[in-house]
Structure 1
Amino acid sequence: MLRIEKINFSIDGRPLFEEASASIPDGHKVGLVGPNGAGKTTLFRLIRGELTLDGGQIDIPARSRIGGVSQEVPSSETTILDTVLEADTERASLMKEAETADGHRMAEVQTRLADIDAWSAEARASTILKGLGFDTPEHSNPCSAYSGGWRMRVALAGVLFAQPELLLLDEPTNYLDLEGALWLESYLAKYPHTVIVISHDRGLLNRAVNTILHLEDRKLTYYGTPYDGFVKLRAEKRAQLTATAKKQQDRRAHLQGFVDRFRAKASKAKQAQARLKMIEKMDMVTAPEEAAKHVFTFPQPDELSPPIINIEGGSTGYDGTAVLHRLNLRIDQDDRIALLGKNGQGKSTLSKLLADRLALLDGEMVRSSKLRIGYFAQHQVDELHLNETPLQHLQSARPGTQPAQLRARLAGFGLHAAQAETEVGRLSGGQKARLSLLLATLDAPHLLILDEPTNHLDIESREALMEALTAYNGAVILVSHDMHLLSMVADRLWLVSGGTVKPYDDDLDAYRSLLLTKESPAKPAKPKQKQKRATRDQVLDLRADVRKCEERVTKLEQMREKLAKKLADPNLYDNEKVGELEVWNKKYAEIMEALGRAEELWVKAQEKLDRAQAD
């Protein structure tokens, strides 16, 4: 059990924790939630021992390994599969030692390797990489071949593979697509040890965790329910506190009124003093402050005749090479469309085509002549001018507009006076995202294209975005790993796969089930071929398991033969060598035990392979 007992901690004189306590049972899956800046990431650093407490203590079970995704992502020539395998440092060390160990130590090494199921490691690492979006042929690619976001996935795969007893994850879905996020939800729900995850993804907080640890007002409160249950319990608790505080204030006002009226009267002086003491002794309950309202205010466009975009027989791509083809698409102004599909299938390419940032290679596209398009993508957040303020960004976009009007526009996106005059480089990720969304919607677009708009937005901001999109009367094209946002905003689904785009006629829950049963949606028209492909990948992994088990048995057989020759030496049975004989007998018994285990693993691996090949 992880115990946090009356901890105190401040940064630059600002207290983040004051007598905060919580206990997390082993094996529980916990969502750590709270306002931005409250200290959630700091709590992780305190648990890892990177920061020193001002008071209190954090007790972690003995010999528990703590794991998380480092900000230093791998960028070497090591393959991504080997990078993941090396994350289990004990296995990597034992595998290296097994190459040179002899005698008794070899038996110990092999026994420990069997205990940690080392021989199925490659298959397990491969499964994790596939879940996070790396196809099997990519597993032999070097880490340096991938961008920072993809290397973060490799780092995440590594810590999941290492299976630390305490897994700390800070916004793990920020660099995943919908498919990867849904796979991670399922994986964490089955994770064999304790997980604490900081997340603003409502779906993950409802499906992957079973409890919520809430950080607010420098205190920790543990709720034995997923996020939706926590919201309900917290609302009830706040209502009770508000009612109690109101009753106390009314009671205090009544007593104070008596004191004020009769303090000067001799006949009532004692009673007034008694009531004054009652007021002093009252243990007042403070009414909870109303949470700051998070808002987005999208300007409403004028209405255009449908369709606003129509594509027939279209294809598009880069440098003359088509990425998407056979495009027959229509968009009306009241459409709310979510784009589904694995990373690399062309969702961003389609978004750029619709946003007029890519041209058609073939076919015909007709746009409304007055069509205005707003486009938001994460790279635009990264391209903001760090040394300029949000107000200066708007002045550049609207040079003739009065500053007061620009400030009002900023306030409509939750960027108030203090943020308006702060350099962008000093703003939080969420505040930068708000500024980029404001710039994307400044012209009241008829079509708003949003590519992962919720990265760095907290839950309240995501809810505000959802409300703004619901009220918005333009068309929306949405790419997001936030399934809650998709389910609340989108009323049409398009599947981008196999080099084209087609309507997906089922709902998001069906799509989620499809992904979690490992049936790739890449080619929905050919389910039999799709199933064979999945089986072929599985067979390759199982064959690798069998090969590893066979090699291990061969090595142990060789060691057994060496020991058998040693024990066949008549000189070993002299009375003077009784102690040495016992040592060699013990080593032989250990090798035989390890050999028995290895043969059992070999048989099981072969049985799995036989079953897979028979399917």
Structure 2
Amino acid sequence: MLQINDLVLDAWGRRFFDGATVSLPRGAHVGLVGRNGVGKSTLFKVILGQLTPGGGDIGLPKNARIGSVDQEHPATPVTLIDTVLEADAERHDLLGRLETAPPEDLGDIYARLIEIDADRAPSRAAEILAGLGFSQADLGRPMAEFSGGWRMRVALAASLFAEPDLLLLDEPTNYLDLEGALWLEARLKKYPHTAIVISHDRELLNGSVDHILHLKDGKLTLYPGGYDDFERQLTEKLRLQEANRVKIEARRAHLQSFVDRFRAKASKAVQAQSRLKMIAKLPPVSAVIEDRVTPFSLPSPERPLAPPLLRLEGASVGYGGPPILKGLDLRLDIDDRIGLLGVNGAGKSTFAKLVAGALKTETGGLHRSPRLKVGWFHQHQIEAMDPDDTPLEIIRREMPQASEASRRNRLAQYGISFEKVETTVANLSGGERARLLLNLVAAEAPHLLILDEPTNHLDIDSRRALLDALNDYEGAVILITHDRSLMELVADRLWLAAEGSIKPFDGDMEDYAAFVLDRARQAARAPSQVRAPEPVAAPPPPPAPRTKAPTGTARRRAEAAEAALARANQALQALDGELTRAASGKDALKLAELGRRRDAAQASLDAAEAEWLAAQEAYEAMVR
């Protein structure tokens, strides 16, 4: 499906690809992985033609449709459902041509609409939107009423609905909640064409792709299987590479020893020269250098507090209007690891603010230890960072009494290299900013860590480093994340935000995944609250008898059915002629194949006759 040959690309003062070559089979679901900044998103830009490589080429089948989600959908007055339906350009064009096409073309248009299953399009679009968190009531709302984050979901829904031949998704779960990520994983697994997904979500890569494309040192290497399979294969490859290097170096040392011993002896000069040639022919094998990931620093509290850390009794919380959450009866202890579940808008962030002390209860009781220290990380902190600030200036404010050397040493512990301590925030990567803030919120050894989507900008290795740090941390944790793997390995209890409250969820992440997918299927089956598009192959129910003959959909349907019937009859006659000519020969396989084709043609003729009769009867009933 996609051929990349000897790709070379230099951009922004560095080389991203250096003779990269790979061939992706048609229908493959591929996870594109690599460290932050190696060029994964840059590769998408090359495939889309937004960047011109300095060498090599990108090969795709002729007329292949490529779909991607580059930015949020614009805020237009078009309704949500119509916006997604318009993403299927062919269907949209065919429906537009129905009103103006000459009668002789209608049969072909209807046949193509039936072939692409256009009648199911509204229900397919509604199913995708429901899986991404939209309600049935949302379908009729104009795009202008949705926020930027929700319009990003619309752009993703449109790409999934259009089903391009090559789908490119760059970190699609970053603007989804856990529920949306679970649904997307199941959807991508069934995607009918080729898809390439950049993701740091281990569960998504294990559950929805069948190949991993690894980008490192400007090269592309394709591995079969999911992410766990890739890790095993890469580990074995590196082990064999190191074993081969040791073997070659031992051989080189042995030959060099002979040369050193007998170089000066005339009787051994020929043998020594021969061994020098052998040494020169030994292939160079570089030593395996493991990529080091800086660990996170999450110091545990020095003195634990008496339980409970926090207790809520019949509490409600909001922002001055109707309460966002009510009836909260929950308890948090020092050894609790809580995974907070729920769709966007269910109140998870409101609950985090309440526990962190940024909101007060409106009714009910909130009892907390007066010595409780809370470390709270959330995405808005990253967005609120001053782009002209630098890590060194930030750490100076956090450590006003420390020496300059201590501050720089602390930044190094946080993963901010020496050359970047005076780089502006605007020029730091998202992962570097997230690392800095995550370490800062935990710097005072809090008794409770509240982490709201901490992994959005972290690669897989950094996520594992965060997991290790959280498992070593001895305080309480409340985790809100769409990273299923992190949720499963950190949380030992699950709370669900739903229906205006938060209650313990009875089950594990497998149970919750099944619950989410079942809820999405039920939502997609619910009756739509918006006007459904007209069927493309059937007229509306006939109205009460009237004297004037209509000239709209019913007439065109009858004409199209008649044209389709004629084509089916001609196809059957042509096959009968082929069978007659083939019967005089001795090719049994050809006769069998023609027989199967005639049976199919006869079935098509029968279906065309039934459609013509139904269309004709409907038309005659309306003109009587």
Q: Report the TM-score, using the length of structure 1 for normalisation.
A: 0.87
Deviates more, 1:451-460 or 1:547-556: 547-556
Deviates more, 1:404-413 or 1:259-268: 259-268
TM-superposed CA distance for 1:543, in Å, is 9.9
TM-superposed CA distance for 1:144, in Å, is 2.1
Secondary structure, counterpart of 1:58 in structure 2:
strand
TM-superposed CA distance for 1:56, in Å, is 2.4
TM-superposed CA distance for 1:546, in Å, is 8.0
Q: Distance in 2 between matches of 1:598 and 1:24?
A: 48
Q: Distance in 1 between matches of 2:323 and 2:432?
A: 37
One-letter amino acid matched to 1:15: R
Q: Distance in 2 between matches of 1:292 and 1:376?
A: 25
One-letter amino acid matched to 2:554: E
Matches within 5 A, 1:2-21: 2-12=2-12, 14-21=14-21
- Which of 544, 555, 559 is the matching residue for 2:556? 559
Distance 1:13 1:545, change over 3 A: closer
One-letter amino acid matched to 1:155: A
Aligned to 1:425: 426
Aligned to 2:596: none
Greater relative contact order (CA < 8 Å, ≥ 6 in sequence): 2
Secondary structure, counterpart of 2:318 in structure 1:
strand
5+ residue gaps, structure 2, are 543-551, 563-603, 619-624
Alpha carbons 1:314, 1:361 under 8 Å: kept: yes
Secondary structure, counterpart of 2:4 in structure 1:
strand
Matches within 5 A, 1:396-545: 396-518=397-519, 534=523, 537-540=525-528, 544=532
Aligned to 1:106: 106
5+ residue gaps, structure 1, are 521-530, 566-588, 604-615
Alpha carbons 1:259, 1:276 under 8 Å: kept: yes
Per-residue CA shift, 1:149-174, capped at 9, x if unaligned? 11110100011111101101110000
TM-superposed CA distance for 1:390, in Å, is 0.9
Aligned to 2:62: 62
Aligned to 1:243: 243
One-letter amino acid matched to 2:445: A
Aligned to 1:53: 53
Q: Distance in 2 between matches of 1:169 and 1:506?
A: 31
Q: Distance in 2 between matches of 1:237 and 1:24?
A: 21
Distance 1:208 1:563, change over 3 A: closer
Q: Distance in 1 between matches of 2:114 and 2:476?
A: 57
Aligned to 2:396: 395
Deviates more, 1:298-307 or 1:370-379: 298-307
Aligned to 2:328: 327
User: How many aligned residue pairs are there?
Assistant: 565
Aligned to 2:584: none
TM-superposed CA distance for 1:52, in Å, is 2.1
Per-residue CA shift, 1:236-271, capped at 9, x if unaligned? 110010111111112212322333343334343333
Deviates more, 1:25-34 or 1:15-24: 15-24
Aligned to 2:569: none
Alpha carbons 1:123, 1:541 under 8 Å: kept: no
Alpha carbons 1:123, 1:545 under 8 Å: kept: no
Aligned to 2:284: 284
Aligned to 2:174: 174
Aligned to 1:596: 611
Alpha carbons 1:41, 1:170 under 8 Å: kept: yes
TM-superposed CA distance for 1:64, in Å, is 1.3
One-letter amino acid matched to 2:489: M
Alpha carbons 2:31, 2:197 under 8 Å: kept: yes
Distance 1:114 1:228, change over 3 A: same
Aligned to 2:387: 386
Aligned to 2:311: 310
Distance 1:247 1:136, change over 3 A: same
Q: Distance in 2 between matches of 1:99 and 1:212?
A: 47
TM-superposed CA distance for 1:116, in Å, is 1.6
TM-superposed CA distance for 1:387, in Å, is 0.7
Q: Distance in 1 between matches of 2:64 and 2:609?
A: 26
Distance 1:547 1:96, change over 3 A: closer
Q: Distance in 2 between matches of 1:198 and 1:268?
A: 59
Q: Distance in 2 between matches of 1:184 and 1:21?
A: 29
CA RMSD in angstroms comes to 2.7
Alpha carbons 1:324, 1:499 under 8 Å: kept: yes
TM-superposed CA distance for 1:145, in Å, is 1.8
Per-residue CA shift, 1:313-337, capped at 9, x if unaligned? 1010111421111111111111110
Alpha carbons 1:10, 1:17 under 8 Å: kept: yes
TM-superposed CA distance for 1:292, in Å, is 1.8
TM-superposed CA distance for 1:233, in Å, is 0.8
Alpha carbons 1:123, 1:544 under 8 Å: kept: no
Q: Distance in 2 between matches of 1:598 and 1:385?
A: 71
Aligned to 1:218: 218
Per-residue CA shift, 1:328-357, capped at 9, x if unaligned? 111111111000111111111111111111
Distance 1:343 1:597, change over 3 A: farther
Q: Distance in 1 between matches of 2:261 and 2:305?
A: 69
Q: Distance in 2 between matches of 1:133 and 1:445?
A: 34
Alpha carbons 2:453, 2:481 under 8 Å: kept: yes
TM-superposed CA distance for 1:291, in Å, is 1.1
Matches within 5 A, 1:92-171: 92-171=92-171
Per-residue CA shift, 1:361-390, capped at 9, x if unaligned? 001111111111111111111111111111
Q: Distance in 2 between matches of 1:518 and 1:564?
A: 40
Alpha carbons 1:374, 1:440 under 8 Å: kept: yes
Distance 1:599 1:88, change over 3 A: farther
Aligned to 1:262: 262
Aligned to 1:350: 351
TM-superposed CA distance for 1:415, in Å, is 1.4
Aligned to 1:90: 90
Distance 1:421 1:46, change over 3 A: same
TM-superposed CA distance for 1:434, in Å, is 0.8
Aligned to 2:230: 230
One-letter amino acid matched to 1:558: R
Deviates more, 1:50-59 or 1:85-94: 50-59
Aligned to 1:579: none
TM-superposed CA distance for 1:553, in Å, is 9.0
Per-residue CA shift, 1:274-305, capped at 9, x if unaligned? 22211111112222221122310112212111
Q: Distance in 2 between matches of 1:367 and 1:240?
A: 56
Per-residue CA shift, 1:491-540, capped at 9, x if unaligned? 010011111111112111011111122369xxxxxxxxxx7xx48x5344
Per-residue CA shift, 1:466-486, capped at 9, x if unaligned? 000000111110000000000
Per-residue CA shift, 1:54-110, capped at 9, x if unaligned? 222222122210001022532222222121111112222222222322312333322
Aligned to 2:586: none
Q: Report the TM-score, using the length of structure 2 for normalisation.
A: 0.85
